[in-house]
Amino acid sequence: MNFLSNHIFSTLKTIPQGSDNRGTGLLLQAGFIRQEMAGVYIFLPMGLRVLRNIESIIRDELDAIGAQEILMTALGSKEHWMTTGRWDQEKMDILFHVPASRSKEYALNPTHEEIVTPLMNEFVRSYKNLPAAVYQFQTKFRNEVRAKSGLLRGREFLMKDLYSFHETSEHLDVYFEKVREAYVSIFNRLEIGDKTHYAFASGGAFSKYSYEFQTELGIGEDTLYVCDACGQKVNNELIQDNNFICPSCEHTSAHTITTSEVGNIFKLGDKFSKDFQLKTSTKDGSNIIPVMGCYGIGVSRLMGVIAEIFADDVGLIWPKAIAPYTDYILVQCDNKKSAIQLALQLEKSGKKVLIDDRDMGFGKKAKDADLFGIPNRIVISEKTLAKGGYELKVRGSSVETIVQYDFDI
Amino acid sequence: MNFLSNHIFSTLKTIPQGSDNRGTGLLLQAGFIRQEMAGVYIFLPMGLRVLRNIESIIRDELDAIGAQEILMTALGSKEHWMTTGRWDQEKMDILFHVPASRSKEYALNPTHEEIVTPLMNEFVRSYKNLPAAVYQFQTKFRNEVRAKSGLLRGREFLMKDLYSFHETSEHLDVYFEKVREAYVSIFNRLEIGDKTHYAFASGGAFSKYSYEFQTELGIGEDTLYVCDACGQKVNNELIQDNNFICPSCEHTSAHTITTSEVGNIFKLGDKFSKDFQLKTSTKDGSNIIPVMGCYGIGVSRLMGVIAEIFADDVGLIWPKAIAPYTDYILVQCDNKKSAIQLALQLEKSGKKVLIDDRDMGFGKKAKDADLFGIPNRIVISEKTLAKGGYELKVRGSSVETIVQYDFDI
């Protein structure tokens, strides 16, 4: 359990002026994050707990489909970026070039095909080594001209990126579907499944289409066309001259929704395998060039999206699975001992408890409790003890119920 | 439990030629790490597990002294680095300057005084907010002219850095001692306590001395003078013209040992507080400038140091607390079911189990087991089953004992 009286990062009375949006404003007000520069954020203890909880759900689902966690690098080799032609800032304008001693230069990686492909070159030599899938949680860097929208568009941000390697496109298709299902589970566990849509998007230089997970969000930077016939979603970057043609059913009328991209999945074909001369032997002894898939989730962006979606007028509201704590206990006067006893009991059943033992009035504490968005608010006071228990209020509901202790207090 | 048959990153037959040192060579051979560029390393699954285990011990000890975990940024604001005068590469030649769009420039932070001090300026306004201590695990960047020695000297590496803020130097002294004790516990838990020495080092621009934790290591880059009278250790950077004078007892003869710096603790005084105009009110209503301490541990370097210290002729040997797995089960023929049953049993008591179910001979598997350095090697075969159990061999010892199952198999 943790005690709020030890907490350094106090809340603010109001949302800071000039906050990019309500979610970011509340994250700032509640002391979850601070801006170091535009698009570059510091995570304070409660924010970091949320971030790690999101990571943990993603890790869980990716381990379940046999992907292996590694940690690549922030600095990239210029040589590798030259190999794929993406060192050129005309081709990749968001790539930071970092001058180093002895006239060297490094990249600050915004994505990791240039790192993972040469890495895997050593290990995927035979069809027996395939499929191979690796992922990481890594800080990414983008030289954005404009960085607004709080955690939604960063110059520095946390991403999960997964790369898979396959003998044939059919094998890739099978794994691709597995990842899609894992993503659906992830967004469901984050409680944004119902608002998150699978959409066609541009395939860039690699294929006709890529696929995105887009979450409905008023402040999102993307627009999806929703086919009026079959409901298929299509990123507006695919719509030319306002002429919508559904890639699923060829229907031509659609309406639009505003969204934020939380995940994307790409079939890369053999672009990077070719560049880095990846070759594996097949069962019959010939050599083939493996095909690749890549799959991203914006971890820090997800935190911003979720903050924005669930917040109400008085503060943040976290889904249980990623809340910084599951239970907040508001202690009044001399009831700290009862609070600690209750917290110990709760922690036995896997709860994470924050005890608000600060020397301040009920009103101020209750206001912070709303702001933090911890699912369960528990009040222990003379009044509740007289009623034989504690008062439980679930964040987002207005009902206060008295819960009996199932142990002596 | 994990199965080695799913593991992508196979071992190498021999240590790669040109490895910087034996520890690095074995980490490469065992498939724990790969070099992206000189001084820039990728952590593969087993290496990442070791890194996270080291982190977890450090976190545990720092939480216990009331420090709060946050996550600052890799990119730093030029303005903040200008404020302290350290933007100037003549003053800090290892600071990467990163050109960005619209003629902006960022720093790639090699240390975080320039980020943490303005951050804390908002929160430590009164003596009631002090002491305050925050720490992070953060990737650091250093524009090193030369980067050799594997994980021991990186251009990109993982560090834990802690910063503390205090009303007076006396308060700082008290906290400083707490951190020193926490560090002793950390190095003891990492099983390098007996080889790790507390030494006087240069205080740089901030004070007469700083203090280092230096681990005895043949390939280390530091030299310590050990006072022949009182045993006090002193970094050779403090010794002028070969004239040793012990800062503790003023004795003048000493011998030297070769070491690697695994931690350093600094009293920063009010240098950064002044630069960023940090001010807090005291009990009597006046204002003071808080004093600061900073405390580093090289997390990825520790992994390299520990690999180097404990390795033997046939592979790595990990201390139990940070081994990628506690137990390795070598399965032969059709005993996989027994192995899984045993693994489930072991995991109930908190063990982390790796099952070697690869389709290869005993000799090759046993060689890899030695290479990985997992503390317990368990063999289940017809032979051991006939003797009523499994064979247990502790890595680093040559004794093989038959252990009875305490459950039906």
Average pLDDT of span B30-57? 97
> Alpha helix (H) ranges present in A280-361?
299-310, 336-348
Residue A212 pairs in a beta bridge with: A199, A264
The set of residues, in sequence order, having a beta carbon less than 8 Å from that of B77 and lying 6+ positions away, is A36, A37, B106, B107, B114, B115
One-letter amino acid of B126: S
Phi, psi of B265 (to 5 degrees): -130, 135
pLDDT at B359 over 70: yes
Average pLDDT, chain B: 94
Domains delineated in chain B: 22-74+109-310 (3.30.930.10), 325-404 (3.40.50.800)
Residue A130 pairs in a beta bridge with: none
- The whole-number pLDDT of residue B407 equals 54
Specify whether the CB–CB gap between A163 and A135 falls below 8 A. yes
One-letter amino acid of A165: F
As a whole-number percent, the residues of chain A with pLDDT over 70 amount to 99
Average pLDDT of span B236-254? 92
Contact check, Cβ <8 Å, B42/A101: no
Comparison of pLDDT for B240 and A14, the residue scoring more = A14
pLDDT at B237 over 50: yes
What are the pLDDT digits (tens) for A115-172?
Answer: 999 999 999 999 999 999 999 999 999 999 988 789 999 999 999 999 999 999 999 9
Residue A313 has, within 13 A of its CA and on its CB side, a CA count of 1
Residue A338 has which token pair? Answer: 């009862």
Question: Residue B140 — pLDDT band, cuts 50, 70, 90?
Answer: very high
Q: Which of B321, B274, B314, B272 is nearest to B294 (CA)?
A: B272
Average pLDDT of span B275-282? 96
Other CB atoms within a 10 A radius of the CB of residue A126 amount to 12
- The whole-number pLDDT of residue A406 equals 60
- The whole-number pLDDT of residue A407 equals 53
Contact check, Cβ <8 Å, A119/B73: no
Specify whether the CB–CB gap between B178 and B146 falls below 8 A. no
Contact check, Cβ <8 Å, B8/A42: no
What are the pLDDT digits (tens) for A78-114?
Answer: 999 999 999 999 999 999 999 999 999 999 999 999 9
Helices (H), strands (E): how many in chain A? 10, 22
Contact check, Cβ <8 Å, B71/A123: no
- The whole-number pLDDT of residue A50 equals 98
pTM: 0.97
Buried/exposed code over A310-320 (b: 16+ C-beta within 10 A; e: otherwise): bbeeebbbbbe
pLDDT at A394 over 50: yes
As for the ipTM of the complex, it is 0.96
> In chain B, positions 101-140, which contact chain A (CB-CB < 8 Å)?
101-102, 106, 108, 115, 119-120, 122-124, 129, 132, 134, 139
Q: Which of A218, A135, A234 is nearest to A182 (CA)?
A: A135
What are the pLDDT digits (tens) for B60-110?
Answer: 999 999 999 999 999 999 999 999 999 998 999 999 999 999 999 999 999
> In chain A, positions 262-291, which contact chain B (CB-CB < 8 Å)?
none
Residue A287 has which token pair? Answer: 């050599």
Specify whether the CB–CB gap between B143 and B93 falls below 8 A. yes
**DSSP secondary-structure letter at A152?**
G
What does the DSSP assignment read for A81-147?
A: HHHTT-SSTTT-TTPEEEE-GGG-EEEE-SS-HHHHHHHHHTT--BGGG-SEEEEEEEEEE---S--
Q: In which region does residue B353 sit, left (phi positive, over 0), alpha (psi from -120 to 50) or beta (all else)?
A: beta
The set of residues, in sequence order, having a beta carbon less than 8 Å from that of A232 and lying 6+ positions away, is A200, A226, A246, A247, A248, A249
